[in-house]
């Protein structure tokens, strides 16, 4: 596992680049997910614009107006924060390099670096504004095409999505949240995709309506990119080991070096007892440990054992037991291997993205592609929840997880959306 890119470069290339400790693996893949989503969405919006399905909207803009003091102060503040931390890293590297994430969130830094870079940023904004300033600002009307709004959409999706993901995760894990609310809110891990999807969808649809963008065409355009972004984002979960994994596969255990080893039921119980303190802390006792045995079938012998069970050595949340001979911050490994559900979702979502991308030209009824996306995503997540670790609710004798409830609603909503869109499309056709 690679908690940050420093570990990835060290393991894969044998290169040690200490500043890369700043780049968390999970955050890196989340950023990549937004970038690939922006690319696919832009490409699809341009295609629909070329077909005449989406139109530009005239907007008035003022050219040549002087830069405001607020803009200068905002840029200056940004420069101050960056300079405050960068020079702080340089002066206190021996201490900061041990835990860069904690250093970023702390009040430590360099006032000199902050003031210098803040001044540079503020002055640069002032000079750039002066160069564009006109003696008499003039108002112009420009046509803004939907694909030109993608940067705004992505920024809103990032802010609203991460906020929604964090809120839904803490609601799902309320017990952990009340124990350490500040830590839970500021943690770089702990995100629920469906929370992000719900909040971001609401914000973006409101924005589209306000800007005169056809919502049906927009959500259809976004469907493939959403599936792709989900798959890429799950890479961050898997490669960092952020705890988003499955229940224990009792057909395997993990040795002290983090290697997956096949095991029989007796060996599984032996490992449970050997790591009694860990399992008791997690589940309160050794009687209700979620597990299911599934050994690699003979017909799939070409697949590695870690495809069926993985111990997530060096995971970013330090879950598990101490690895033999390991020193440093990330030295934990799960004593019993779990199903790598994030890996399964990566593969599934990339396949579903290819399906949606192929269907986008064949399905012409507005809204139907998004309905198909809802069904696909809901079904995929519902079944993966059967082997995932998640908080369960008690509802009239049933014990679903938050994701199972939302994914079921997504399937129902997707089917209803397809029915509704086909119905209004049929009604819109003139009678023969």
Average pLDDT score over the chain:
86
pTM: 0.83
Q: Is the pLDDT of residue 277 over 80?
A: yes
Specify the higher pLDDT residue, 338 or 390: 338
The residue count for the chain? 432
13: left (phi over 0), alpha (psi -120 to 50) or beta: alpha
> What does each C-alpha distance from 91 to 80, 148, 248 come to in angstroms?
16, 42, 45
Q: What is the distance in angstroms between the CA of the first residue and the CA of the last residue of the chain?
A: 63
The pLDDT value given to residue 175: 60
Residue 27 pLDDT greater than 90, yes or no: no
Q: Report whether pLDDT(40) > 60.
A: yes
Contacts of 383 (CB under 8 A, 6+ apart): none
Half-sphere exposure of 126 (CA within 13 A, CB side): 10
Of 103 and 209, the one with more pLDDT: 209
Q: Which of 143, 121, 105, 93 is nearest to 24 (CA)?
A: 105
Long-range contacts of 57-62 (CB under 8 A, 24+ apart): 57/143, 57/144, 57/211, 57/212, 57/213, 58/141, 58/142, 58/143, 58/144, 59/141, 59/142, 59/143, 59/144, 60/139, 60/140, 60/141, 61/139, 61/140, 61/141, 61/142, 62/137, 62/138, 62/139, 62/140
Radius of gyration of the chain from its Cα atoms, rounded to whole angstroms: 25
3-state per-residue secondary structure call for 231-289: HHHHHHHHHHCCCCCECECCCEEECCCCCEEECCHHHHHHHHHHCHHHHHHHHCCCCCC
* Torsions phi, psi for 291 (to 5 deg): -160, 160
Q: Residue 327 gets which letter from DSSP? A: -
The mean pLDDT value for 29-55 works out to 94
Bridge-based pairing state of the strands 332-333 and 321-322: antiparallel
Q: Which of 81-85, 173-177, 243-247, 409-413 has the highest mean pLDDT?
A: 409-413
pLDDT at 153 over 80: yes
As a whole number, mean pLDDT of residues 377-385 equals 92
For residue 377, how far is the Cα from the chain centroid?
15
**Three-state secondary structure call for residue 191:** coil
Model confidence band, residue 432 (pLDDT cutoffs 50, 70, 90): very low
Least confident of 79-93, 159-173, 179-193, 232-246: 179-193
The pLDDT confidence band at residue 177, using thresholds 50, 70 and 90, is low
Say which residue, 87 or 423, is predicted with more confidence: 423
Task: Write the CA distances from 28 to 34, 91, 198, 329, 350, integer angstroms.
Answer: 10, 26, 23, 20, 18
Read off the pLDDT band of 348 (50, 70, 90): very high
What does the block give as tokens for 199?
């909040």
Q: Could you give the CA distance from residue 185 to residue 205 in angstroms, rounded to a whole number?
A: 26
Contact 275, 335 (CB under 8 A): yes
Q: Which residue has the tokens 């599984």?
A: 268
Token pair listed for 96: 């900061």
| Confidence label for 181 from pLDDT (cuts 50, 70 and 90) | low
Q: What is the pLDDT of residue 132?
A: 86
Across the range 3-12, mean pLDDT stands at 85
């Amino acid at each position: 596992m690679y908690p940050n890119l420093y570990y990835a470069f060290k393991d894969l290339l044998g290169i040690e680049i200490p500043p890369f400790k700043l780049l968390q693996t999970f955050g890196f893949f989340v950023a990549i997910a937004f970038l690939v989503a922006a690319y696919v969405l832009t490409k699809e919006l341009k295609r629909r614009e070329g077909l005449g399905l989406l139109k530009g909207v005239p907007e008035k803009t003022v050219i040549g107006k002087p830069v405001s003091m607020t803009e200068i102060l905002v840029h200056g503040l940004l420069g101050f924060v960056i300079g405050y931390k960068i020079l702080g890293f340089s002066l206190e590297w021996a201490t900061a390099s041990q835990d860069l994430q904690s250093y970023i969130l702390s009040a430590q830094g360099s006032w000199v670096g902050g003031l210098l870079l803040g001044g540079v940023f503020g002055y640069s904004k002032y000079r750039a504004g002066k160069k564009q300033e006109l003696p008499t600002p003039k108002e112009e009307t420009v046509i803004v095409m939907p694909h030109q709004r993608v940067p705004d959409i992505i920024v809103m999706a990032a802010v609203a999505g991460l906020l929604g993901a964090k809120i839904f995760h803490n609601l799902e894990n309320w017990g952990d949240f009340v124990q350490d609310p500040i830590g839970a809110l500021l943690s770089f891990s702990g995100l629920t995709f469906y929370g992000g999807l719900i909040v971001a969808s609401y914000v973006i649809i409101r924005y589209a309506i306000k800007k005169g963008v056809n919502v049906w065409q927009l959500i259809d355009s976004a469907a493939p990119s959403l599936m792709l972004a989900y798959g890429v984002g799950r890479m961050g979960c898997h490669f960092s080991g952020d705890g988003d994994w499955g229940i224990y596969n009792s057909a395997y255990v993990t040795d002290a070096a983090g290697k997956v080893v096949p095991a029989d039921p007796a060996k599984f119980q032996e490992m449970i007892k050997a790591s009694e303190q860990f399992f008791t802390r997690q589940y309160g006792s050794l009687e209700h440990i979620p597990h299911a045995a599934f050994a690699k079938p003979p017909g799939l012998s070409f697949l590695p054992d870690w495809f069926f069970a993985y111990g997530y050595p060096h995971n970013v949340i330090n879950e598990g037991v101490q690895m033999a001979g390991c020193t440093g911050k990330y030295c934990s490994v799960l004593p019993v291997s779990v199903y790598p559900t994030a890996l399964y979702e990566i593969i599934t979502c990339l396949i579903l993205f290819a399906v949606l991308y192929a269907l986008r030209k064949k399905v012409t009824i507005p809204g139907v592609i998004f309905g198909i996306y809802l069904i696909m995503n809901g079904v995929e997540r519902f079944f993966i929840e059967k082997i995932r670790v998640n908080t369960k609710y008690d509802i009239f004798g049933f014990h679903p997880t938050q994701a199972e409830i939302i994914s079921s609603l997504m399937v129902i909503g997707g089917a209803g959306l397809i029915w509704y869109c086909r119905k209004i499309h049929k009604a819109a056709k003139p009678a023969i």
